[in-house]
Amino acid sequence: MKRLGTFYLQDMRAFLSREIISVNGVISKPGETSISVMDRGFLYGDSVYEVTLTYNRIPFLLDEHLDRLYRSAKSIYMDFSFTREELVSEIFKVVEAIEGDRLYIRIIVTRGEGEINLDPAAAKSNNLVIIGRQLPEYPKSWYEEGVTLIVSDVLRNSKRSIDPGVKSGNYLNNVLAMAEAKEKGAFDAMMLNYKGNITEGTTSNIWIVEGDHFITPPLDAGLLGGITRKSLLLLASKNGLNVSEENITPERLKKADECFLTSSTKEIVPIVKVDDSLIGSGKPGPKTQKLHQIYKQFVLDSIS
């Protein structure tokens, strides 16, 4: 097992800043870190990762994120050269080294370095990178006015190629969809599968509201099972809301009463326009806002 670096609290205080990066346990400021260009994460996108947000300096739903990290690694035949306990310890060292309550934490595990060939066995040992930085509150306009998305011409990867259910470093599919969205002046893009059904946004899950019914695409449509998505499915049911997983076509989405996206860092963001079609009234809907309030209370209850 690769030995992670030792970094004591008295050393951390000297590094207190807005952003830091830990590479195999060695914490440095941005611009002072390095990783080999022979790393397979750089060469092939051969890595897995997770992103979480802290509330009051507590990494939110960390166990759920780490469970998914380990599932992703297993799906691509990647073993970790450190224990889960060591990983958690390194995450909290990063949190301790940054000032502020609201922090962005990105955990990246690459297969490691080795000869330039596609054989996974060429890698000797993982590289663990943890990025931590202060995360300002997102613009209020996202939540009060809503955002515009497009339906991308870029199809989501098939589950039989690069499974979207694996949160890997191979993100070119999403990058191309986002590039298309920005070219068209949109906030983000949603991608279809080969059957023409909506899967997800580039970094978020998609939901619609029809009457009193909350609907999100099923996992087998070809999407990443978001942690926030999973929480909302449970919360909606517990709060007596009608919720289901169903395939959604772009035509059905554009006729919905409301639409929104969910992610771990953005929580719930109303979508008020898709392509040239207004969703409902063209303003954030009351059902979306109600669900967001339920989620906010869930966060407060979880960290109190």
Q: pLDDT, tens digit, for every residue of 159-199?
A: 889 899 999 999 999 999 999 999 999 999 999 999 999 99
> CA-to-CA distance for 179 and 152, rounded, in angstroms?
10
* Residue closest to 129 by CA, chosen among 148, 113, 109, 152: 109
Average pLDDT over residues 112-127: 95
> CA-to-CA distance for 211 and 214, rounded, in angstroms?
8
> CA-to-CA distance for 31 and 258, rounded, in angstroms?
43
Q: What domains, with CATH codes, occur in the chain?
A: 9-134 (3.30.470.10), 140-303 (3.20.10.10)
Question: Could you tell me which residue, 1 or 289, shows the higher pLDDT?
Answer: 289
- Residue 167's pLDDT is what? 97
The number of helix segments (H) and strand segments (E) in the chain equals 9, 15
Neighbours of 180 (CB within 10 A): 18
69 pLDDT higher than 50: yes
Question: Could you tell me which residue, 5 or 47, shows the higher pLDDT?
Answer: 47
- Residue 304's pLDDT is what? 85
* Dihedral of the alpha carbons of 105, 111, 117, 119, in degrees to the nearest 10: -140
Q: What are the two backbone dihedrals, phi and then psi, of residue 126, each rounded to the nearest 5 degrees? A: -60, 155
Average pLDDT over residues 54-59: 96
- Strands 205-210 and 258-263 come out as antiparallel
Q: Is 281 exposed, middle or buried (0-12, 13-18, 19+ CB in 10 A)?
A: exposed
Burial 23-54 (b: 16+ CB within 10 A, else e): bbbebeeeeeeebeeebbbbbeebbbbbbbbb
Residue count (the chain):
304
| pLDDT tens digits for range 224-274 | 999 999 999 999 999 999 999 999 999 999 999 999 999 999 999 999 999
- Residue 4's pLDDT is what? 57
136 pLDDT higher than 50: yes
Long-range CB contacts (within 8 A, 24+) of 234-239 = 235/291, 235/294, 235/295, 235/298, 236/291, 236/294, 239/294
> CA-to-CA distance for 193 and 218, rounded, in angstroms?
12
Question: Could you tell me which residue, 11 or 61, shows the higher pLDDT?
Answer: 61
Q: How confident is residue 10, by pLDDT bands cut at 50, 70 and 90? A: very low
Catalytic residue among 167, 266, 273, 287: 167
- Look over the chain and give the mean of its residue pLDDT values, rounded to a whole number: 94
Clarify whether 184 is annotated catalytic: no
Average pLDDT over residues 72-93: 97
289 pLDDT higher than 70: yes
Burial 106-118 (b: 16+ CB within 10 A, else e): ebbbbbbbbeeee
- Residue 14's pLDDT is what? 42
- Strands 26-28 and 19-23 come out as antiparallel
Q: How confident is residue 12, by pLDDT bands cut at 50, 70 and 90? A: very low
* Percent of the chain clearing pLDDT 90 (strictly above): 91
Question: Could you tell me which residue, 4 or 62, shows the higher pLDDT?
Answer: 62
CA atoms within 13 A on the CB side of 301: 7
Q: How confident is residue 220, by pLDDT bands cut at 50, 70 and 90? A: very high
* Percent of the chain clearing pLDDT 70 (strictly above): 95
